[in-house]
Amino acid sequence: MAKPNDLSVGDMAARAGVPVSTLHYYEAEGLIESWRTPANHRRYDRRELRRVAIIRVAQSVGVPLSEIRQVLNRVPREKAVSKDAWAKAAAPWKDMLDERVALLERLRDQMGYCIGCGCLSLETCPLYNVDDALGQNGAGPRRWIGSRTERA
């Protein structure tokens, strides 16, 4: 149902800080919804702004759209969503985000230590991989990602 505070696509884009094309993409991906005026112009409920904000923040830390969609699909659209409902919908992200935080901390601490050094010291360098022992865990940067497989 149309509400007087619904946003045009231009207003929505300006308010959300994304190009109109991004809104169209999010909509085509089923992440946000709009409705059409009799003149076939898109209108967005203001609640869609929160969804766009969540999408943008999640994308900025590398959460795939498929996982963002899973969370957003758990949030009801037909009413104002409570803080508890958002927390419940996002709860499955906790472990994944904790893992990403730990990875970023390792990257910051270990990589930062070695930038500009280049010694690859056998005793102290956290990057040194004696006899490629970490290759036993698979390809890629195993010191940081461990033995888990990468997400698609």
Closer residue to ligand FES (CB): 126 or 146: 126
91 binds ligand FES (CB under 6 A): no
In the complex, the smallest distance separating the C-beta of residue 11 from ligand FES, rounded to whole angstroms, is 51
Binding ligand FES (rule: CB under 6 A), the pick from 62, 124, 140, 151 is 124
Residue 103 CB-half CA count within 13 A: 16
**Least gap, CB of 143 to ligand FES (angstroms):** 11
Query: Hey, how many other C-beta atoms are within 10 angstroms of the C-beta on 90?
Result: 16
CB contact at 8 A, 70 and 76: no
Least distance to ligand FES, CB of residue 131, Å = 17
Could you give the CA distance from residue 29 to residue 46 in angstroms, rounded to a whole number?
19
Find out whether 58 and 68 touch, Cβ atoms under 8 Å: yes
Q: Is residue 118 a contact residue for ligand FES (CB under 6 A)?
A: yes
Residues in contact with ligand FES by CB under 6 A are 113-114, 117-121, 124-125, 127
